[in-house]
Amino acid sequence: MIKFLSLRDILDILIIAFLIYRILLLLMDTRAMQLVKGLLLLALVSVFARTLRFEALSWILGKFLGVMFIAIPIVFQPELRRMLEEIGKGSLWRRAISREKAQSLADEVLRALLYLQSQKIGALIVLQRSTGLKDVWQSAVKLDSEISQEVLVSVFWPGNPLHDGAVILDRER
């Protein structure tokens, strides 16, 4: 029997949905998302096995999924730590950048590239989008700076202590 949903129940559901959405966004650009998809598939198969009354398969999947609740914190330890750090930094609530800000950032990158081209200096600039690059740059030297022509040129300028052949741009940084 379905009871009437109060405003409090609806708000509760919306908050949970928002939190799940933000957690999935944090996982989206990591290899952990593949593990989440695998676990969801196993849970779905388990539901079907119970519905169709496949006793042996239900028992095996039930035991396996039970063990997974113990294994998840171990397997996802780096991602759980990163999520807690992101929540602590307040980035759970961050929004997409505006169109004007995106255009300004693109102009800065273009000016830097045109200058580097005039000096015959190569530059590999990677724009992080939905591909899982966080696993790559987590072990790299981090320069937490706003994107500007000067910063980009200094990263690629030969002889500079920050000199490197590549940079990953993530949002506005």
Q: Where are the domains of the chain?
A: 7-93, 99-169
- Whether pTM > 0.95 for this model: the answer is no
- Which pLDDT does position 34 carry in this prediction? 77
Residue 167 DSSP label: E
The residue behind tokens 């987590």 is: 138
Helix, strand or coil for residue 166?
strand
CATH fold for domain 99-169: YojJ-like (1 (3.40.1700)
| CA 146 to centroid of chain Cα atoms | 20
Residue 90's pLDDT band (boundaries 50, 70, 90)?
low
Task: Give the helix, strand, coil percentages of the chain, each rounded to 5.
Answer: 65, 5, 30
From 129, 115, 117, select the one nearest 169 (Cα to Cα). Answer: 129
The one-letter code for the residue type at 12 is D
Residue 80 in this model has a pLDDT that exceeds 60: yes
Query: Which pair of structure tokens corresponds to residue 122?
Result: 């190569």
Q: How far apart are CA 95 and CA 86, in angstroms?
A: 13
Q: How far apart are CA 141 and CA 71, in angstroms?
A: 31
Q: What is the pLDDT of residues 7-49, one digit of tens each?
A: 888 899 999 998 888 877 777 767 777 777 888 888 899 889 9
